[in-house]
Amino acid sequence: QQPVQSPQAVILREGEDAVINCSSSKALYSVHWYRQKHGEAPVFLMILLKGGEQKGHEKISASFNEKKQQSSLYLTASQLSYSGTYFCGTDRIIQGAQKLVFGQGTRLTINP
């Protein structure tokens, strides 16, 4: 079962903030965040490991709440370059091995 992302899409003006949520029905050990621009490959942003650690990447940060089985990605003072589709990835047991399963994505559009 895939993690669930919300919202599915968001439109902002440059300089505004955004929050993207990722939730799972099962216990999480790690959460990955990736960004994909149209027609390109996904690019790694950050990994959060079990322990509730909050990480940052420029003006993009994320939190991981194990008890709630969810992670949130925070984009502060958004820039035009932040536009793209954001994916979270969480752990699943597939064929007896722990593997990364992605959510359906959140499309972020930043307008001037």
Q: Which residues bind another protein (CB under 8 A)?
A: 2, 29-30, 32, 34, 40-44, 47, 49, 87, 89, 91-92, 94-95, 97-105
CB of 74 to another protein, least distance (A): 20
Q: Which is nearer to another protein, 13 or 95 (CB)?
A: 95
Q: Which is nearer to another protein, 84 or 89 (CB)?
A: 89
Q: Which is nearer to another protein, 77 or 94 (CB)?
A: 94
CB of 81 to another protein, least distance (A): 19
CB of 98 to another protein, least distance (A): 6
Long-range contacts of 84-87 (CB under 8 A, 24+ apart): 84/35, 84/36, 84/37, 84/38, 84/108, 85/35, 85/36, 85/37, 85/38, 86/5, 86/20, 86/33, 86/34, 86/35, 86/36, 86/45, 87/5, 87/33, 87/34, 87/35, 87/36, 87/42
